[in-house]
Amino acid sequence: MARTSRPLRARLRRLGAVGVVIATLAWSSACAVIPVGGPFAVGEAGDNDPMSKPFQRMVAIEPQPGWSPQQVVEGLQAAMAAYADDPEILPKYLTDEARQAWKPGGPVTVLDNGAKYDESGKIGDKEVTVVISGTQVARIEDDDTYVPVSAGVDRKFTLVKDKTGEYRVNSLVGGLVLTEADVARAYRPTNLYYLNGVPGSGGANADMLVVDRVRLRLKPTESFAKTIIERLLKGPSKALQGAVENVFPHGTRVESVRALDDRVLINLSGPIDADGIFSRGLQAQLRWSLTSNNVANGRSIEVQLDGEPFYSSDTLTIEPKLPDDWLGSASNVVYYTNSKGAVYSVGHDGPGRVVAGPAGQPNGPYSDFAVITGGYATGQGADLIAAKSKAGGIWVTRAAADGHWQQWIQGASADLTAPSWHRDGTLWTYDRRNKAVLRCNPSAGRGPERIAAPSLDGFDVTRLRIARDGVRVAVTIGKHEIRVGAITGEGASTMLGNFQTLSTVNDENIMDLAWRDGEHLVVLSSSNAGSVVKEINVGDGTVTKLPSDKRLHTLAAQGERILAGTLHKNEILESNLDKQNWTAKIATDADTPIFPLG
């Protein structure tokens, strides 16, 4: 921030004289940053409070006499950062005309910390234009989603002198403009959890949680636990609307959230069915939404309805640890193909073992294998293995001695993307010739059917991957773009929608991608400098670079494990994230690694 002006320093000295203690100070021409932990009903501020997160609150002051136009704009920007906590300061930087026209709503523009101010365009001594030049790095949508952006910004502010001779902003584009530092100070990345059941079903068929990542603003008047729950009740962001179930009925309210010695007490009100049909999903949504954000860790959660026990005979208590299967159970089995196309399975450790049935035989005509374990495929005792055939179409066999290849989907091999299993046992692909998403469900007595995906119309879809939660879908467009959407509806009304661009790379070619879990994609790209491996959070686009190796050719991922096939198709490598390198997992005659689903 800019050096503090003399009037502001004098004012802060006066504030200090009357007992305001500033423990941590960051300067602007109009702001001070004071560590605030929020309301502490129980415990002390900071890490000892299980309900809140310590943060630094931006405290803005009104414009001071004698400030230059640039100082006024800097002060205005500080007032924007403090607006949610103190909306009274910002209007004092505006003329009456601008005050009437400006609206705080809409997406929040996030600029990089290196934005520069340029005072220019003077018209005599009465009108001045100040331009903030920088890079927009993101926007925060009205539904609290954080969307990465990379675009140059020249934001113009026209200032005029008021009747007292002081500069005020006369034109202001709607919405708040914050810096990365403002966002880091006042917002927290937050994971909310919804159910993978069909919306409106009450969570009856749900068996997994689906992550919805948002940016929530910390409030000095409210515990972070209450902020999380209130946002959870509003329902999913637009990325998951129509695709996940929220068991909290519309109109549910949070009356209070209190931390007691050994538990957190949540008092709700509204149209919740007190007979308990929502209890299982409610427990999962609440527990994981709180503990995944390091709130109320290690404490049981007691839920009340209108201040009374949730059930007529007992209180709904959520224990500190829920079964991990809500997040999906990861199998230790890894599959891979050898140079002749035979499929092998290998445990977490130990040598590979050829699978039973035709998939374990040399399969020269087959490629792009995908596996679903028998527990997911209804009516199938053994694992199912799908593959594209050079003769055409996608074929499936059971990994059993009596298995045989059956064609599930027709079409030229070059026109179909690699098969992708849904956790319900259906098989999906994209037909590039006919521009159609295809789903096959033989267990229901139906052949391939088209699934509507209007957001993909007119685009060159080169890959389609369904996440293990059965909700999110990733596609690649050509060689340079990744989009993520969701499966909405059910039965004949099923469609792929909610697509948003996750990543665009102009100087790299996307070689492969894999779901590590429902929240992260692992992407392998090639560039002039060699291969690039990165993990992308599909909720907010956060990119983490992973160890790379010039030998990498294909990827498979599950949980903490990431495997790669090599260009020479002679070994399977495993990523060692701690040591930032790749080591041999299968050292001889190994081509492509495969994890079930994903």
Each residue's pLDDT tens digit, 385-417:
999 999 999 999 999 999 999 999 999 999 999
Reported confidence tier of residue 72, pLDDT bands at 50, 70, 90 = very high
Reported confidence tier of residue 376, pLDDT bands at 50, 70, 90 = low
Q: What is the pLDDT of residue 227?
A: 95
Average pLDDT value for residue range 506-535: 93
Q: What is the Cα–Cα distance from 221 to 216, expressed in whole angstroms? A: 14
Share of the chain above pLDDT 90, in %: 57
Reported confidence tier of residue 506, pLDDT bands at 50, 70, 90 = confident
pLDDT in tens, 186-196: 999 999 999 99
In the predicted model, is pLDDT for residue 377 greater than 60? no
Q: What is the pLDDT of residue 221?
A: 84
- The per-residue b/e assignment along 225-258, b for 16 or more CB within 10 angstroms, e otherwise, is bbbbbbbbbebbbebbbbbbbbbbeeebebeebb
Angle at which helices 279-291 and 224-234 pack, to 10 degrees? 130
**pTM, rounded to two decimals:** 0.87
Q: Going by C-beta distance under 8 Å and a sequence separation of 6 or more, which residues neighbour residue 177?
A: 77, 80, 108, 109, 111, 132, 155
Share of the chain above pLDDT 70, in %: 83
Q: Would you give the distance in Å from CA 236 to the centre of its chain? A: 11
Q: What is the pLDDT of residue 297?
A: 77
**HSE of 299, CA atoms in CB hemisphere, 13 A:** 22
Average pLDDT value for residue range 573-590: 86
In the predicted model, is pLDDT for residue 28 greater than 50? no
Reported confidence tier of residue 14, pLDDT bands at 50, 70, 90 = very low
pLDDT in tens, 406-454: 999 999 999 999 999 999 899 999 999 999 999 998 776 677 999 999 9
Q: What is the pLDDT of residue 272?
A: 79
DSSP 8-state class, residue 198: P
pLDDT in tens, 228-263: 999 999 999 999 999 999 989 899 999 999 888 888
Contact 478, 458 (CB under 8 A): no
Q: What is the pLDDT of residue 93?
A: 96
Q: What is the pLDDT of residue 569?
A: 82
The amino acid occupying position 408 is: W
Question: 309's torsion region: left (phi>0), alpha (psi -120 to 50) or beta?
Answer: beta
Mean pLDDT rounded to a whole number for the chain: 84
In the predicted model, is pLDDT for residue 34 greater than 50? no
| Sequence ranges of the domains in the chain | 334-594
Reported confidence tier of residue 51, pLDDT bands at 50, 70, 90 = low
Reported confidence tier of residue 23, pLDDT bands at 50, 70, 90 = very low
User: How many C-beta neighbours within 10 Å does residue 332 have?
Assistant: 11
Q: Which CATH class is domain 334-594?
A: mainly beta
In the predicted model, is pLDDT for residue 10 greater than 50? no
Q: Going by C-beta distance under 8 Å and a sequence separation of 6 or more, which residues neighbour residue 579?
A: none
Average pLDDT value for residue range 207-223: 92
